Structure formats: structure tokens, C-alpha cells
């Protein structure tokens, strides 16, 4: 029996993983659910297990990796696509790390566009007005998305889904990617440009690139200064793609028209938990929440029935394949920090 230590457990995790276990894996895999996040304080809970299952806010740094290695853990199974919380240098040649690269690009893409529509037509503000019997539409003016230009940064599966949806609105699409897919651009009908041109000409900018040393704070004071006055910025990628202090300054000066954020650079302290009875001690997040033209959701873009089914199935299958066939199709590539099977650097002869 393969024993899994499952950290940062929420009720919906248990529901979908228990269903997947019952359907296909209960004879070979057992799960022990732990509510705490994985950290150097809680890593001792993993003793006696074969696999650790972790999520986006679990801390998998050098201290945690060394402890897991001492416990004999051979596999860390991330039940998410992102892996910026993993110290890849520490796990290299010690512990294999697999992820769920494609749980549902549609879920994230649809939430991205939902943020765009809500901010543009101010439906979140209208909702509260009408509940107070205020039926005035003053201050709720939006714009036609038809014929406007969207700048999509990152054209992986999620970015492409967003592009296809926005093309349905009749929008013009500019895109940026380190590894552009020109054939797909020709097929769908969008144009690759450099970042400066994208910033300069986009009415809406949406972030769908991974977090890396090259992309940390890519949206900063300098980048914002290049953007159109009144630009809409959407981030359903990773929080540290945006320098939040610079974003706030852009909002205060009205250079940024509005922002939709499903992620936040210090979200691990708050997201996925109920803090409604506490004082918010993060001054930057508190300031963001005061803007009527900022819409924040708590990392829920992935949160659909289909996505949770896929996350559970892919995670458990990753574990099964490793132990039964020594196969790791969704292992992270330690040389380029991408999934080995989907490594575009490898496809272009730039990795290995």
C-alpha cells in the first residue's frame, strides 16, 4: 500500500480525492489528511509515509526537503500546476516532484474573463447597490470590448483559452511568450509582439506566464508607465508577477483604470482561510481592498467541479505510475523549471 501524507487539507480536497480513491485507487493507495500546511514545523507529520501531497501555499524549502529525504520520502505530488513554492535545487537528485499541469485551462480562462467583464461593467458594485434598493446607474459606465485590444502574456493552454474567448468578443489580440507558437497564432488570429508594444497598445492586459526569476515583478513602475492610461490589468497567474506597491500607485494616479486579482504576492498568509473575525494586518492588501475599481478573489480561478476531479485523478495517477511503472510524465524539469513532457525549451532544442 502506498501511504500519502496529504497537507493543507480542505473539505473539498477530501471529497474529490476520496471519490477518486473509491473509484480506482483504494486497493493500492491510502491517504492520511492533515489540516496544517507543510512547513518545517509540520514536516514531522510525514514520517512513516511514502509520498507527500502538497498545494500552492505549502512550503517546500531546503529544510523541509532535507527532512523529507531523511524520512525516506521518494515523491512529492503537487496537486496544482504551479511550483514556485518548491526549492528545485534542494530536491534535485533527492526527491522526485510531480504536478498537475492541465487540470482545467478552461476554469482559469473563464474566471479570467469573468473578472474582465465584472470590472468593465461593474457588476460587483451594481450587486451591492440593488440590494440596498439603489437602482442608480451613475458611475457604472463600461465600454464595448468589441474592437478593443487585449494583451495576453503567456500563451500556454490557459492563455490560449483566454485568447479564444476574447476573439469571440471581437477583440484584437496581442500576445507575448518567450517561446511563441506562430502556427497557432496564424490559426487563431493573434499577433506576437514584444512586451513594450504589448504594454503600449493594450486596453486589457492579462497575465498567464509562470513565476520565475525573469518574471518576478514584471508588472512594475516602469512597465506601468508604458501602458495606456486607464488600462485594465488582470492576474490569475502568480501574485509576484506584479509589484503590488507599484500597482497601487498606478491606481492612485488613475493611470491604471482597474485591476482584477485572483492572486496576491503575500497570499499564503490569507487565501483559502477565513479571517473575517480578525484585523487585517497586511497594509498593502488592506489598501487594495479600499479601491472600488479593484476586484480580488482568493485564488479560486481553478475552482470548478471538472478541475477538482482532474486534480484528484491526475495526482493519484502520478503516484501510481511512479510506484508501479517508475514513470514520471508530469515531473518538473529541474533544468528549465517546466514539466518534462511539456518542456517547450526541449522541443526547441534549448534544454538537455
Q: Which sequence positions are flagged as catalytic?
A: 238, 267, 299
Q: Which domain holds residue 163?
A: 105-296
Phi-psi region of 316 (alpha: psi -120 to 50; beta: other; left: phi over 0): alpha
Residues 219 and 331 in one domain: no
CB hemisphere CA count around 158 (13 angstroms): 27
Residues 129 and 176 in one domain: yes
Cell of 182: 506562430
Residues 182 and 257 in one domain: yes
Query: From CA 269, how far away is CA 283, in angstroms rounded?
Result: 13
Tens-digit pLDDT profile for the chain (352 aa)? 999 999 999 999 999 999 999 988 989 999 999 999 999 999 999 999 999 999 999 999 999 999 999 999 999 999 998 888 999 999 999 999 999 988 899 999 999 999 999 999 999 999 999 999 999 999 999 999 999 999 999 999 999 999 999 999 999 999 999 999 999 999 999 999 999 999 999 999 999 998 888 999 999 999 999 999 999 999 999 999 999 999 999 999 999 999 999 999 888 788 888 888 888 989 999 999 999 999 999 999 999 999 999 999 999 999 999 999 999 999 987 665 444 444 544 444 344 3
Query: From CA 162, how far away is CA 112, in angstroms rounded?
Result: 7
Q: Output the DSSP codes for 152-166.
A: EE--SHHHHHHHHHH
Cell of 43: 514536516
Residues 154 and 222 in one domain: yes
- Domain containing residue 287: CATH number: 3.40.50.720
* pTM summary value: 0.88
| Cβ pair 136, 188 in contact under 8 A | no
Query: From CA 287, how far away is CA 299, in angstroms rounded?
Result: 19
Residues 247 and 109 in one domain: yes
Residues 37 and 160 in one domain: no
Amino acid at each position: 500500500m502506498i501511504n500519502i501524507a496529504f497537507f493543507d487539507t480542505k473539505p473539498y480536497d477530501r471529497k474529490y480525492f476520496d471519490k477518486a480513491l473509491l473509484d480506482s485507487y483504494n486497493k493500492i493507495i491510502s491517504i492520511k489528511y492533515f489540516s496544517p500546511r507543510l512547513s518545517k514545523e509540520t514536516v514531522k507529520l510525514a514520517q512513516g509515509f511514502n509520498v507527500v501531497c502538497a498545494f500552492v501555499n505549502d512550503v517546500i524549502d531546503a529544510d523541509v526537503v532535507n527532512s523529507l529525504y531523511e524520512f525516506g520520502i521518494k515523491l512529492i505530488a503537487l496537486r496544482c500546476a504551479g511550483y514556485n513554492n518548491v526549492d528545485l535545487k534542494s530536491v534535485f537528485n533527492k526527491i522526485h516532484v510531480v504536478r498537475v499541469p492541465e487540470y482545467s485551462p478552461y476554469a482559469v480562462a473563464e474566471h479570467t474573463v469573468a473578472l474582465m467583464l465584472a470590472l468593465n461593467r461593474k457588476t460587483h458594485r451594481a450587486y451591492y447597490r440593488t440590494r440596498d434598493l439603489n437602482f442608480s446607474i451613475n458611475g457604472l459606465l463600461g465600454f464595448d470590448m468589441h474592437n478593443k485590444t487585449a494583451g495576453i502574456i503567456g500563451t500556454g493552454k490557459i492563455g490560449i483559452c483566454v485568447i479564444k474567448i476574447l476573439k469571440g468578443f471581437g477583440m484584437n489580440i496581442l500576445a507575448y511568450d518567450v517561446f511563441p507558437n506562430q502556427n497557432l497564432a496564424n490559426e487563431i488570429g493573434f499577433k506576437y509582439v514584444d512586451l513594450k508594444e504589448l504594454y503600449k497598445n493594450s486596453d486589457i492586459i492579462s497575465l498567464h506566464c509562470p513565476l520565475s526569476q525573469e518574471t518576478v515583478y514584471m508588472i512594475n513602475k516602469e512597465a506601468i508607465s508604458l501602458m495606456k492610461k486607464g488600462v485594465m490589468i488582470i492576474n490569475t497567474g502568480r501574485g509576484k508577477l506584479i509589484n503590488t506597491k507599484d500597482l497601487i500607485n498606478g491606481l492612485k494616479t488613475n493611470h491604471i483604470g482597474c485591476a482584477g486579482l485572483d492572486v496576491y504576492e503575500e497570499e499564503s498568509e490569507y487565501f483559502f482561510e477565513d479571517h473575517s473575525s480578525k484585523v487585517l494586518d497586511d497594509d498593502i492588501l488592506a489598501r487594495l481592498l479600499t479601491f472600488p475599481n479593484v476586484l480580488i478573489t482568493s485564488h479560486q480561478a481553478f475552482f470548478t467541479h471538472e478541475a477538482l476531479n482532474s486534480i484528484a485523478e491526475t495526482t493519484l495517477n502520478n503516484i501510481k505510475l511512479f510506484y508501479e511503472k517508475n514513470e514520471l510524465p508530469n515531473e518538473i524539469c529541474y533544468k528549465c523549471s517546466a514539466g518534462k513532457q511539456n518542456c517547450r525549451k526541449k522541443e526547441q532544442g534549448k534544454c538537455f
